[in-house]
Amino acid sequence: MSTPVLQSRLPAVGTTVFTLMSNLAAEHGAVNLGQGFPDFACDPRLPELVSEAMRAGLNQYPPMPGAAPLRAAIAAKIAALYGRAYDAATEITVTAGATQAIVTAILCAVHPGDEVIVIEPAYDSYLPAIRLAGAVPVTVPMRLDEAGYHVPWNDVAGAVTPRTRMVVINSPHNPTGSILRPCDLDALAAIVADTDILVLSDEVYEHMVYDGEQHASVSRHPVLAERAFVVSSFGKTYHVTGWKIGYVAAPAALTAEFRKVHQYDLFSVNTPMQHGLAAYMADPAPYLDLPAFYQRKRDLFRAGLAGTRFTLLPADGTYFQCVRYDGVSDLPEAEFAQWLTREIKVAAIPVSAFYRGGRESGIVRFCFAKQDETLRLALERLARV
């Protein structure tokens, strides 16, 4: 007897670089600034509210689109911040994290033979989801200059064909830490206006925008919001990445199709956590205060790196800092990240891992969503390089 051989749906996919680097960090006792998760606790009030929901008996299946109080709280937040009135009943869906929202949005909207434009470097779930839908990813690389990474919208426009079905954008951007601004949204709107092209906007770091800048949510832009799935994450916002709860906001017609897939690939999300989050959202301070919280960590980390042989790139958003290391080594990015983890005891992620072809730029990404003492230990070690 032998196990039947499967024809893989994702033959090029292996273990993610995040898992590899986290395992290497654990093996060598390195400070893990690779994978993007905090090493500090969330507000203790949040798990207490979840416990209260459990004790109140809210432990059975919630409605498929999400618990009504949470959807109402999400809609109210978006309206207050971005001026877009999404209907909580028909235009907000709670998901098992942002990744599920992204995959479901692609699967519900994209068909075999369609093309999906993706801006690179790109979060690693986008391309596999497009391939699972039988579609063709079309990648457009960002450009990097002294002002940082930016999207070349003329190149995006040049990538559009009659088969283009969707454009995927991400701001604040993982891994580069760049942000889109209103002029970027206007440029995208000019490309997709008067077409049937959809937009998938990954905004999981929406509350991590610094130096007085405002998050340019697609929800703010009338032309784009009418054709967009806008995705965010409670895990990122409230320091509970392991809870895997996010949401998608989209016009009713798009949401109806999204929910057709959602009800069969997931159906519903953890009930007491949804009610706990809904109660916690009554106070907007935790997300309104988040930019200042993370900007202080960013500034601490950048100040420490300024005296090293690394070259800092701009970090306008997210909790990631990219650096050039050409003053340190000429190793390829993956090899350098492994060397840094083994020898210097600080883990980073090679930015080449976010490109389909493994494009080399001599840049690695650090995560500064860590306790100050963790950051100081990492900086002490990086100063020796």
CATH number, position 331: 3.90.1150.10
For residue 23, the one-letter residue type is: N
CATH of the domain at 86: 3.40.640.10
At which residue do the structure tokens 């929202």 appear? 101
Say whether both 215 and 330 belong to one domain: no
> Last residue of a domain, which of 269, 285, 301?
285
Count of domains forming the chain:
2
Say whether both 25 and 51 belong to one domain: no
| Average pLDDT along the chain, 385 residues, taken 10 residues at a time | 90 85 94 94 98 98 98 98 98 98 98 98 96 98 95 98 98 98 98 97 98 97 98 98 97 98 96 98 98 98 96 98 97 96 97 92 97 98 96
117 in helix, strand or coil?
strand
Say whether both 68 and 184 belong to one domain: yes
Q: Pick from 342, 344, 304: which is nearest to 323 by CA?
A: 304
> Last residue of a domain, which of 268, 285, 302?
285
Q: What's the pTM value of the predicted model, to 2 decimals?
A: 0.97
> Last residue of a domain, which of 285, 308, 333?
285
Residue 12 lies in a domain: no
Say whether both 351 and 270 belong to one domain: no
Residue 174 lies in a domain: yes
Q: Pick from 364, 262, 268, 377: which is nearest to 310 by CA?
A: 364
Which pLDDT value is given to residue 253? 98
String of DSSP letters for 220-276: G-HHHHTTEEEEEEHHHHHT-GGG--EEEE--HHHHHHHHHHHHHHT----HHHHHH
Say whether both 104 and 182 belong to one domain: yes
Residue 10 lies in a domain: no
Say whether both 228 and 370 belong to one domain: no
Residue 66 has φ and ψ, to the nearest 5°, of 125, 155
Element (H, E) at 109: helix 97-109
DSSP class of 325: -
List the structure tokens of 111.
Answer: 């068909």
Say whether both 55 and 153 belong to one domain: yes
The residue range of the domain holding 229 is: 45-285
Residue 343 lies in a domain: yes
Residue 2 has φ and ψ, to the nearest 5°, of -145, 155
Say whether both 23 and 136 belong to one domain: no
Element (H, E) at 363: strand 363-367
Do 123 and 351 contact (CB within 8 A), yes or no?
A: no
Residue 72 lies in a domain: yes
Residue 7 lies in a domain: no
Say whether both 189 and 205 belong to one domain: yes
Task: Round to the nearest angstrom and report the end-to-end CA distance of the chain.
Answer: 55
Say whether both 76 and 205 belong to one domain: yes
Residue 233 lies in a domain: yes
Do 350 and 333 contact (CB within 8 A), yes or no?
A: yes
Say whether both 88 and 171 belong to one domain: yes
Which pLDDT value is given to residue 369? 98
Which pLDDT value is given to residue 243? 97
Say whether both 155 and 192 belong to one domain: yes
Which pLDDT value is given to residue 12? 85
